[in-house]
């Protein structure tokens, strides 16, 4: 399960509300090319907070944090080792949920030019937890040929859908943008060309189908299934709005749970995520502002998703002006550049919100998952002349004993980890 999307020109960290743009320019002075990268990554932010797939990803990370910290608390002699990996005994469904995310994410290879899709195959992949609510995941295996005649078997999943959706928005709104490899950035379009080419003549149809597929926890399967269903009855929507009208009538299920409407599944998950994410900051007095920020963000995202179910189409048709109005309404994640300069735009922004906490949470997760010590807040701390030292590279948790606490150290202390030492 990758924690970053599109690291070449910029990236967005799903679930941790951080966009990085590979430029030295400040946000207010972004070039047209910088802006296209920002738009691409901001669409990932929209996918994060306004789709079932994005919300579920946040929930799975929050459950892993709970699991990992409990492992630390239960360690012998206050010592623990990394990585902290859930076992397939599937205690509290942590292993199963992470496996489902991994299998539905799809492959992340880059294929510069996809000349032909040879075959599309649905295959069952085991989650590794027999007798669970979800024993297998239906994956979409695509056999394709590149321009060198090489054959590539790749799994089509959420990554391809998210990247193609973002890349389509770049092309529809911006005039200055970098071309990207066909896989994963245009691969959903290639799937459409293979299954139902007439449907794909209207790019907004593909955009709508990408967005709607992310309202399910297995987007790759849903994308292909919807296309095949439409083709089988020769239904060609007169407008992309009709696709939303059709799909929102369908039922949805999340990780083997009972079926509900898409809106009900989304609302239940959004409330669960709101409580879980606020639980990172479970001292209401110390973290009043950040807790309010989370509540406001997810509440606004929920309203946007269902008060105007066509909002993605509105942005695509309205161009840069409508996009700018939108991100001022929803706000932005933390936006950083190559120098570490940061920007945060948010309506009614609570005074003193420290969004860097989310980057710190991501860094703690990286440490628990892989043993990676270096804190990626380092460049930002340098830019804003926060005190840094060698520990930021090798042992940032040790800073929890300092008088002035950085976000990493404050969370480590707040999560009652200061008495525990890595081996």
pLDDT band at 351; cut points 50, 70, 90: low
- Given a cut of 80, is residue 16 above it in pLDDT? yes
Those residues with Cβ within 8 angstroms of residue 168's Cβ, 6 or more apart along the chain or in another chain: 189, 203, 206, 207, 210, 316
Segment 69-107, tens digit of pLDDT = 999 999 989 999 999 999 888 778 899 999 999 999 999
Those residues with Cβ within 8 angstroms of residue 179's Cβ, 6 or more apart along the chain or in another chain: none
Query: How far is CA 178 from each of CA 31, 35, 167, 316, rounded to the nearest angstrom?
Result: 13, 11, 10, 18
Of 331, 328, 323, 326, which is closest to residue 298 (Cα–Cα)? Answer: 331
Measured CA to CA, the distance from residue 274 to residue 76 in angstroms comes to 33
Segment 266-313, tens digit of pLDDT = 999 999 999 999 999 989 888 988 898 999 999 999 999 999 999 999
Tally of residues, the chain: 423
Measured CA to CA, the distance from residue 195 to residue 243 in angstroms comes to 17
Higher pLDDT, 6 or 47: 47
What pLDDT is stored for residue 324 in this prediction? 95
What pLDDT is stored for residue 256 in this prediction? 65
Of 28, 1, 17, 31, which is closest to residue 9 (Cα–Cα)? Answer: 31
Asked whether the beta carbons of 384 and 344 are under 8 A apart, the reply is no
The mean pLDDT value of the chain amounts to: 93
What pLDDT is stored for residue 103 in this prediction? 96
Segment 304-350, tens digit of pLDDT = 999 999 999 999 999 999 999 999 999 999 999 999 999 988 876 55
**Cα dihedral sign, 68-280-2-23:** negative
What pLDDT is stored for residue 9 in this prediction? 82
Give the start-to-end residue ranges of the domains of the chain. Answer: 10-14+25-64+81-252
pLDDT band at 255; cut points 50, 70, 90: low
- Given a cut of 90, is residue 6 above it in pLDDT? no
User: Could you write out the DSSP letters of every residue in 187-232?
Assistant: HHHHHHHHH-TTGGGSHHHHHHHHHHHTTSS-HHHHHHHHHHHHHH
Query: Hey, is 373 helix, strand or coil?
Result: coil
- Percentage of the chain beyond pLDDT 70 is 96
């Amino acid at each position: 399960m990758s924690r970053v999307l599109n690291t070449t020109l910029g990236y967005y960290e799903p679930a941790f509300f951080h966009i990085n743009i590979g430029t030295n320019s400040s946000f207010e002075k972004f070039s047209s090319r910088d802006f296209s990268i920002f738009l691409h990554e901001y669409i990932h932010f929209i996918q994060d907070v306004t789709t079932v797939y994005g919300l579920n990803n946040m929930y799975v990370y929050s459950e892993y944090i709970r699991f990992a910290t409990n492992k630390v608390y239960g360690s012998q002699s206050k010592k623990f080792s990394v990585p902290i990996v859930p076992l397939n005994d599937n205690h509290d469904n942590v292993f199963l949920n992470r496996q489902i995310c991994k299998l539905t994410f799809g492959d992340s290879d880059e294929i510069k030019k996809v000349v032909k899709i040879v075959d599309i195959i649905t295959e069952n992949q085991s989650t590794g937890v027999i007798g669970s609510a979800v024993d297998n995941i239906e994956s979409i295996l695509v056999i394709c040929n590149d321009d060198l005649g090489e054959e590539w078997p790749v799994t089509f999943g959420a990554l391809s859908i998210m990247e193609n959706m973002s890349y389509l928005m770049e092309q529809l709104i911006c005039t200055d943008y970098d071309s990207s490899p066909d896989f994963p950035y245009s691969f959903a379009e290639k799937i459409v060309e293979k299954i139902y080419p007439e449907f794909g003549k209207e790019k907004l149809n593909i955009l709508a189908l990408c967005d709607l597929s992310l309202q399910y926890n297995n987007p790759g399967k849903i994308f292909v299934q919807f296309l095949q269903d439409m083709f089988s009855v020769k239904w060609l929507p007169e407008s992309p709005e009709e696709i939303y009208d059709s799909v929102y009538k369908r039922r949805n299920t999340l990780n083997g749970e009972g079926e509900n409407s898409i809106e009900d599944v989304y609302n239940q998950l959004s409330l669960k995520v709101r409580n879980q994410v606020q639980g990172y900051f479970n001292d209401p007095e110390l973290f009043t502002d950040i807790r309010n920020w989370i509540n406001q963000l997810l509440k606004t995202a929920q309203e946007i998703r269902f008060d105007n179910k066509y909002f993605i189409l509105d942005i695509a048709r309205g161009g840069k002006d409508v996009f700018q109005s939108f991100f001022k309404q929803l706000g932005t994640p933390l936006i950083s550049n190559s120098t570490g300069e940061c920007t945060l735009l948010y309506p009614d922004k609570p005074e003193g919100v420290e969004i860097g906490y989310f980057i710190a949470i991501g860094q703690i997760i990286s440490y628990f998952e892989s043993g990676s010590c270096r804190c990626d807040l380092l460049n930002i701390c340098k830019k804003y002349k926060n005190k840094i030292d060698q520990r930021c590279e090798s042992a940032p948790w040790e800073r929890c004993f300092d008088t002035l606490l950085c976000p990493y150290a404050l969370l480590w202390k707040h999560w009652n980890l200061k008495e525990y030492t890595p081996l």
